[in-house]
Structure 1
Amino acid sequence: MSDAVDPARYSWGGDEFLFVELAEEMSLRANFRAMAITRALRDERPDGVLEICPANASYQVRYDPDVLEPHTLLAHLQDIESKVGDAADVSLPTRVVEIPVLYRDPWTTETLMRFRDRHQDPDATDIEYAARINGLGGVDEFIAAHTGSPWFTSMVGFVAGLPFLFQMVPQDRQLVVPKYLRPRTDTPKQTVGHGGCFGCIYSVRGAGGYQMFGVTPAPIYDPAQSSADFADFMVFFRPGDIASFRAIDRDEYDDTLARVEAHDHRIRSRDVEFGLQPFLDDPDAFNTRLLEVLRAD
């Protein structure tokens, strides 16, 4: 285990919260450390710990100060941080999931055209703009890059069920697209979007500022818990999930949506163990094996 990581910064939030910043910028290593620390804390769960919320490069703990003395909690978290180290030898049980996407769909296209005055390039669609500023040859090449590697769910939040997705490729190959100059007041439900280094899926219809590339027919948030994907919880994505986007046509979109409405659809998934160091050693080979697991019968 390497000690080549900066020590965490601990900040008190009133008398019930402790915020822990592991790095100043997002990286897969920083997020994996947050995931490993919060999972260890969840497994040990000292009396008085009420909520544990991992984020991109940080986490927050809510506790009851009448049950758990604050500096006792601080010492416990520092001990876990020390044991986790750079997280190189930590392996987390998770799952890889396949998300079908209708790129350049009519609904996000209609929406983005209504808000061109808020965009960096009013004469191009969001996906055309994203392809150009990433130095790609066009929309088809952008879709190939977007679907060609898996995405790590670094956190879930902002609105209920929305996953933040970090592309699992070396930094010089990551797709990076700025958010709109000014946020939209509308975004279709289940829009596949992108802002900065993060992909996302909008779980509900509402305001937003991420670029819009397409839409998935697969629900990721269901308060009614009406299908098997939501039997345990109304939110599909969990931190640590690994998503793989797959391009589909309109016929498959309509067929999938019909099965969703009949409560006869499940998102394709496979359980896997994810270790950070094996991925960092050879990202392309690791991703190939990962996607083979997903698509195996």
Structure 2
Amino acid sequence: MLSFQPIGDQAVCIRLGDRIEPSVHDRVRRWCRALERQAIPGVIEWVPSYTAVTVLYRPAEVTYRQLVLSLERLAEQLDEEPLPQPRIISLPVCYGGEYGPDLEALAELCGKTPEEVIRIHSSAEYVVYMMGFSPGFPYLGGLPREIAAPRLATPRSSVPAGSVGIAGEQTGVYPIATPGGWRLIGRTPIPLYDPTRNPPVLLKAGDRLRFRPIDRTEYLKIADSVKNGEDVWNVREWLTEKA
């Protein structure tokens, strides 16, 4: 399934499917890779989502029809576009207690113990399908259905940065303090958003994410490193594993 749809007068949506699945995600990644390599005149940037890529452009430099023709030509070569190996990121997470206030209630809702929820959640490997909602927020696919749970009936007015939550069949990490209704089961001391860096976000679409359980002592140790200005994004033992 491939179609092009105008969004206002400065963007075109490339629709690649209607289901959230790995094959569609690979096509999204290929389009982003091809757009980066081809540098179509007039194109400003592109935004990947679960099943589409939105391309923003300057109408004074390229018309909608001209852009669609260029995209159609690009589509003919898309299967030849190589995909880089995904990064595998391992985020340390302290589950339960003050960092995961909804863990016990979620476990009871799912008919599990808190320890079982932690084991199931941290045993899966998640795909970063897209970024959104707030700077650096990853929308992840791959949550085991046995620990899926609906959002809270009443959202919190503020969720601490680093909180790991579950909502429906999704899990995610809050990069900054914002309101939110996801059920909080833990927290990572690793910042996912840093406006002083380039790029300012740790994760990107196409990454694979794992959660590594840690205790409160290790959480505070890493949090102190962050507070002291250490470059934790480049500490391999905490973050990146070879694919």
TM over 0.5: yes
Residue 227 (structure 2) pairs with residue 252 (structure 1) = no
Alpha-carbon distance change, 80 to 146 in structure 1, aligned in 2, over 3 angstroms:
farther
Output the amino acid matched with 1:234: P
1:42/1:52 contact within 8 Å kept:
no
Q: Which residue of 2 aligns with 1:92?
A: 84
1:23/1:30 contact within 8 Å kept:
yes
SS at match of 1:71: helix
The farther-off stretch of 96-105 and 260-269 is 260-269
The alignment's TM-score, normalised by the length of structure 2, stands at 0.87
The farther-off stretch of 142-151 and 69-78 is 69-78
Say what the alpha-carbon RMSD is for the aligned residues. Answer: 2.5
Alpha-carbon distance change, 184 to 173 in structure 1, aligned in 2, over 3 angstroms:
closer
1:96/1:269 contact within 8 Å kept:
no
Q: Aligned match of 2:32 in 38, 42, 66?
A: 38
2:40/2:70 contact within 8 Å kept:
no
Output the amino acid matched with 1:98: S
2:29/2:83 contact within 8 Å kept:
no
Mapping of residues 256-267 of structure 1, within 5 Å: 256-267=222-233
Give the % identical residues.
26
Work out the CA distance in 2 between the residues paired with 1:204 and 1:163: 12
Output the amino acid matched with 2:90: E
Q: Which residue of 2 aligns with 1:55?
A: 49
Alpha-carbon distance change, 46 to 175 in structure 1, aligned in 2, over 3 angstroms:
farther
Q: CA deviation at 1:265?
A: 4.3
Mapping of residues 197-236 of structure 1, within 5 Å: 197-223=169-195, 225=196, 230=197, 232-236=198-202
Q: CA deviation at 1:49?
A: 0.2
Residue 186 (structure 2) pairs with residue 192 (structure 1) = no
SS at match of 2:87: strand
2:12/2:55 contact within 8 Å kept:
yes
Output the amino acid matched with 2:201: V
Alpha-carbon distance change, 79 to 100 in structure 1, aligned in 2, over 3 angstroms:
same
Q: Which residue of 2 aligns with 1:241?
A: 207
Residue 100 (structure 2) pairs with residue 128 (structure 1) = no
Q: Aligned match of 1:141 in 103, 111, 116?
A: 116
Alpha-carbon distance change, 79 to 127 in structure 1, aligned in 2, over 3 angstroms:
farther
Work out the CA distance in 1 between the residues paired with 2:37 and 2:153: 42
Q: CA deviation at 1:51?
A: 1.3
1:101/1:217 contact within 8 Å kept:
yes
Aligned length: 240
Mapping of residues 267-282 of structure 1, within 5 Å: 267=233, 268-269=235-236
Q: CA deviation at 1:82?
A: 4.4
Work out the CA distance in 2 between the residues paired with 1:158 and 1:20: 21
Alpha-carbon distance change, 75 to 101 in structure 1, aligned in 2, over 3 angstroms:
same
Q: CA deviation at 1:58?
A: 1.3
Work out the CA distance in 2 between the residues paired with 1:239 and 1:269: 20
Output the amino acid matched with 1:198: Q
Please list the CA deviations of residues 241-280 of structure 1 after superposition, one character each: whole Å capped at 9, or x if unmatched: 211100000100111111111122424559xxxxxxxxxx
Output the amino acid matched with 2:84: L
Q: CA deviation at 1:132?
A: 4.7
Unaligned runs of 5+ in 2: none
Alpha-carbon distance change, 57 to 132 in structure 1, aligned in 2, over 3 angstroms:
farther
Which runs of at least 4 in structure 1 moved beyond 4 Å after TM superposition?
132-135, 172-175
Unaligned runs of 5+ in 1: 1-6, 110-125, 271-289
Q: CA deviation at 1:142?
A: 1.4
SS at match of 2:140: strand
Q: Which residue of 2 aligns with 1:160?
A: 135
